[in-house]
Amino acid sequence: MRIALFGGSFDPPHLGHTGIATAAAALLYLDRVLVTPAGRQPLKRDQHQSSFEDRLAMVELACQNHPPLVASDIDAPRPDGRFNYTYDTLEDLRDAHQDDELFCLIGADSLQTLRQWHRAAEALMLAQWIVAARPGFPLEAMASLLPSGVHAGDSEQSGGLVRVPLISGFRQQTLWLLPQLDYEISATDLRAALAGAPAGITERVLDPAVAEYARKHRLYTESCALRS
């Protein structure tokens, strides 16, 4: 099987998330995309977040009409209180799926912080990485944002994909760029909209079931918006 990890805050999960995951699945023949809210994110430690349980429940609703997307709790808060690192989650996945091909999906904005990720260079070697275009974050900058010790080889374009070999010492991996995606949707903007004028949010940006969950559980009230 070809399995992708797609981690993030998902606070809330929106149609940009499901859009890039569905596109990645179609272009790379993924059997399953595990959409995994992260428990404790080191790079968002000072940001107020909805609870892990609420974010997982919303991801379940967001994925329900989008096979092969599957909500997963593999990145739940750790019992020892340790931060959730993508490196650890990929290692756990590799142990659990030794005969499967592993991928890791991120949006282009995540490349900006990649160098600060825990064991970033090693994490890049644990799976094939997929980077989806996001408005405002040019994919051309990718090579300059790689952690030290990893460099990009010559890329090849085919269909809606660009294949980039990643080299780290004697090891090699593949990174796939998905340049044709253009989802101008942000969870930060959605939280503000849900707190202020939810009537303006359409089905083109947020699944109505997710919007209803957020409303029913009062996740994005004005006081929450001020804290984030």
Nearest to 161 by CA among 178, 186, 175: 178
Is residue 177 at the binding interface for ligand ATP, with CB under 6 A as the rule? no
Both tokens assigned to 184: 């101008």
Q: Given candidates 25, 39, 134, 139, which one binds ligand ATP under the rule CB under 6 A?
A: 134
How far apart CA 149 and CA 169 sit, in angstroms, is: 7
Binding mask 72-101 for ligand ATP (x = CB under 6 A): ------------------------------
Toward ligand ATP, which CB reaches closer, 46 or 99?
Answer: 46
Contacts 24+ apart (CB under 8 A), 220-223: 220/12, 220/50, 220/190, 220/191, 220/192, 220/194, 220/195, 221/195, 222/195, 222/196
Q: Given candidates 3, 4, 5, 11, which one binds ligand ATP under the rule CB under 6 A?
A: 11
Give the interface segment with ligand ATP, choosing from 57-65, 86-94, 179-187, 192-200 (CB under 6 A): 179-187
Which H or E element spans position 90? helix 86-96
Is residue 175 at the binding interface for ligand ATP, with CB under 6 A as the rule? no
Nearest to 127 by CA among 30, 13, 55, 27: 30
Give the interface segment with ligand ATP, choosing from 8-16, 58-66, 96-104, 146-154 (CB under 6 A): 8-16
Is residue 106 at the binding interface for ligand ATP, with CB under 6 A as the rule? yes
Is residue 187 at the binding interface for ligand ATP, with CB under 6 A as the rule? yes
Angle at the Cα of 106 from the Cα atoms of 18 and 163, rounded to 5 degrees: 110
- Binding-site ranges for ligand ATP (CB under 6 A): 8-11, 16-17, 20, 106-107, 109-110, 132, 134, 183, 185-188
